[in-house]
Amino acid sequence: MKRIILSLFILPQLATFAANNPPPTSPTDLAVITNWGDDTCAIIDTTQEIPLNPGIKVGAKPYDVKVESTGRFAYVSCSGESFISVIDLQANLENENRRIPVGMAPRDIALTSDNNRLISANSGDDTISIVDVNTKQRVFPDFPVGNIPYGVALSKDDKTAVITLWGSNKALILSIGPNGPKIEAELPIGQLPYTAVMAGDDKYALITCFGSHAVYVIDLTNKAVLPKPVNVGRSPWGLSVSADGTSACVANFYDGTASVLNIDKVVDPLGAATPVKETTRFKLEKDDPIGGGTKRPGRAKNSAHSFDPNKVLMSDLAKNQVMVLNIKEQKVERVIKVGMAPYGIAFIPRKQ
């Protein structure tokens, strides 16, 4: 009798819970967003307009986020601190015991392909940290790189890193070996370089230069900057590359547009033809029901590609939302309101 009564009580609760928390339509539809303005992260389902979990508290000023390939943990650089917050994505909570000390004011981060190590660009003390995420210890001493490092890109074999130096308008190519990192090249690029990504099977690095309104392309084989940067919209900040490496999407901050770039895997040895071209630029607009249908300008900060090459997420600092873009149709399909000043985005991969 007790069991029947208990079941009658519990079953409706479960049904309500299931209705309010429907399972995602696909694991690759979930993403983590860092809200720099209110020290939280949000978990969103990109097919829904309400976040699944709007406010997971983390350290101060969360900037970048990377999710390991098993989908279990998300690593968040806290630019107002000197550590990486670790979110357990099963519990949707930060595990403060797993916080990883790094240098001051970490910005962009990269995870190695085995999920064991993390590199952070520490804008507060001009170093990079290479840490073991399991032991929370530094693998090597923090490595000085130069003035205000922001962006980090890591090759698939984890042996080459590109670091952007925002304060000196340069990019560094580092080799990472058993004895630690080594600077292989220091390359002048455009003004205020923010984000770096590897592209074209790691033959290139693409770097957004906020002050030059262009994406600079580094030939990693020859360790040289290609002579013609790719002009994009005003003040490009975030950049992401499709899973197959053939296209990229750029968030142009001050004109609220997205640039789509085509990436040719063949490197012209003479550098005469640029392997990267802007093919499309479109305005990131969607009628704002709160504004009575009027279009208010957004400020696209970051970009992340889904496994579907046509689906890209961009964070909008001005409207505190994430935009789901359909690249093929050049439009914003959906907006998802998140916390204050959403900076970082990472899709949560399929659990293995």
The contact set with another protein (CB under 8 A) reads 36-38, 80, 105, 124, 167-169, 191-192, 210-211, 234, 253-254, 296-299, 317-318, 320, 340-341
State the minimum distance, in angstroms, from the CB of residue 80 to another protein: 7
State the minimum distance, in angstroms, from the CB of residue 297 to another protein: 5
**Nearer of residues 79 and 112 to another protein, judged by Cβ:** 79
State the minimum distance, in angstroms, from the CB of residue 124 to another protein: 6
**Nearer of residues 75 and 150 to another protein, judged by Cβ:** 150
Helix ranges restricted to H, 178-308: none
**Nearer of residues 37 and 349 to another protein, judged by Cβ:** 37
State the minimum distance, in angstroms, from the CB of residue 123 to another protein: 8
- For 321-336, b/e burial (b = at least 16 CB within 10 A) is bbbbbebeeeebebbb
Closest CA relative to residue 159, chosen from 220, 240, 108: 220
Token representation of residue 166 = 């925002």
∠ at Cα 75 (74, 76), nearest 5°? 115
Nearest-angstrom CA–CA distance, 190 and 130: 26
Break the chain down into helix, strand, coil percent, rounded to 5: 10, 50, 45
Contact between 99 and 86 under an 8 Å Cβ cutoff? The reply is yes
Nearest-angstrom CA–CA distance, 32 and 175: 30
State the minimum distance, in angstroms, from the CB of residue 319 to another protein: 8
**Nearer of residues 123 and 259 to another protein, judged by Cβ:** 123
**Nearer of residues 202 and 316 to another protein, judged by Cβ:** 316
DSSP code of 12?
H
**Nearer of residues 73 and 194 to another protein, judged by Cβ:** 194
**Nearer of residues 27 and 55 to another protein, judged by Cβ:** 55
DSSP code of 306?
-
State the minimum distance, in angstroms, from the CB of residue 59 to another protein: 13
Residue with tokens 């998140």: 338
Cβ-count burial of 246 within 10 angstroms (0-12 exposed, 13-18 middle, 19+ buried)? middle
Q: Compute CA distances 239 → 300, 301, 313, whole Å.
A: 11, 9, 11
State the minimum distance, in angstroms, from the CB of residue 298 to another protein: 7
